[in-house]
Amino acid sequence: MPARPIYLDNHATTKTDPRVLAAMLPYFTELYGNSASVSHRFGWDAGDAVDRAREQVAKLLGAETREIVFTSGATEANNLAIKGSVEVLKKRGNHLISATNEHKAVLDPMKRLAREGWNVTLVDCEDTGLVSVESIEAAITDSTILISVMAANNEVGTINPTREIGELCHAKGIIFHTDATQAIGKIPLDVQADHIDLASLTGHKFYGPKGIGALFIRRKDPQVRISPLFDGGGHERGMRSGTLAVPLIVGLGEACRLAIEERDEEARRILDLRERLHEGLAQRIEAISLNGHSLLRVPGNLNLSFGYVDGEALMMAMREIAVSSGSACSAANPEPSHVLLAMGVDEDMARASLRFGLGRFTTEEEIDFAIKHVAEAVERLRPMSASWMARSGN
């Protein structure tokens, strides 16, 4: 019997890998210098650690080290990418494009810019959650300067055609930003091959620490310039001032190193576990539906809607399993998932959805327990549903 509760919410955050923690610890207590201190050994050691981590992040992305700017996480990176780039580009145009099923860390900056007078278009996604190249192309105008489309959706796991969107953007001289938070460390992503100009990521989504992220900023073909969100000290080549969090940066670098070495094998194992979970639930429970693309999805994602079940009651019945009903960043919001609604999912089904996030430390035992626990919860709740009783003829 696995230890309980079982953690299946790896899209919200992941456990810090013990190897990542081990790499970080010396920089809290022994190598604790400020990386901006260039006159003594403590600062030099910290600076060397930051340089090494920057190389590790760049290698995972297929970038140059000078193209990596450290941030506090993906939300800051998204804000810096979107607001910082359009501020520089505003003389070229005022039209921005994103999608209705983006993360709030992209949608909210877009909404703020819209309130400030920018022209923002949010294209609809397909019923699989995929944002098509055709929908993006149809929305482009002569004043379009930035397009932001996530690499993989945080709720349903659908993988977008970033390479094709990037090719389109570069052909038309438009800057392409992708929120790569749910893709990094899980599926291959190469900023050069995929024609990405700006890419946001955060460490805690792939077994690194919380509070640290990065933004890739292309240096050539085209060179992307960013106006900083705040000033003070000129750190990160003036694009993100503030004393660098050396222990966290070391942890992010180590997480990237592990992803480079283990990602493909890990993805195969996690995919097998996800299929085991999906098939087990489908055998035990009728009237469930898959949300998201059946094939183009990150390995650890399984988002299901359970018919004839009250969504709130279902979540209350899941005490032994840590799952979510949507984005962790919007978990306090009682409204149904904006992602599922954007995909055309019925509101009742959207409310009765669960997002399972499998990860590096998920085991077969845990998957088998989850199948049993979820099935029993649904079986307890459905007899209380008027729609279920009407369907059953009772």
What is the pairing mode between strands 198-202 and 175-179? parallel
**Which residues lie below 8 Å from residue 356, measured CB to CB, with a gap of 6+?**
8, 274, 277, 301, 302, 303, 304, 323, 370
Q: Tokens 């804000």 appear where? A: 79
For 159, phi then psi, to 5°, come to: -95, 125
Residues 6+ apart with CB under 8 A from 18: none
C-alpha 71/C-alpha 215 separation (Å) is: 7
Residue 296 tokens read as 């183009």
Residue 94's CB is within 10 A of a number of other CB atoms, namely: 17
- Spatial distance between the Cα atoms of 181 and 149, rounded to a whole number of angstroms: 12
329 is catalytic: yes
Of 145, 150, 144, 137, residue with least CA distance to 99: 150
Q: What is the rounded distance in angstroms from the CA atom of residue 52 to the CA atom of residue 247?
A: 12
SS3 call for 197: coil
- Report CA-CA distances (Å) from 225 to 198, 216, 238, 283: 10, 11, 11, 53
The amino acid sitting at 98 is: S
* Annotated catalytic residue within 125, 169, 256, 329: 329
CB 288 within 8 A of CB 345: no
Residue type at 149 in one-letter notation:
V
Bridge pairing between strands 6-7 and 321-322: parallel
From residue 127, how far is each of 115, 164, 207 by CA, in Å?
29, 19, 31
Q: Is 97 helix (H, G, I), strand (E, B) or coil?
A: strand
Give the catalytic positions in this structure.
329
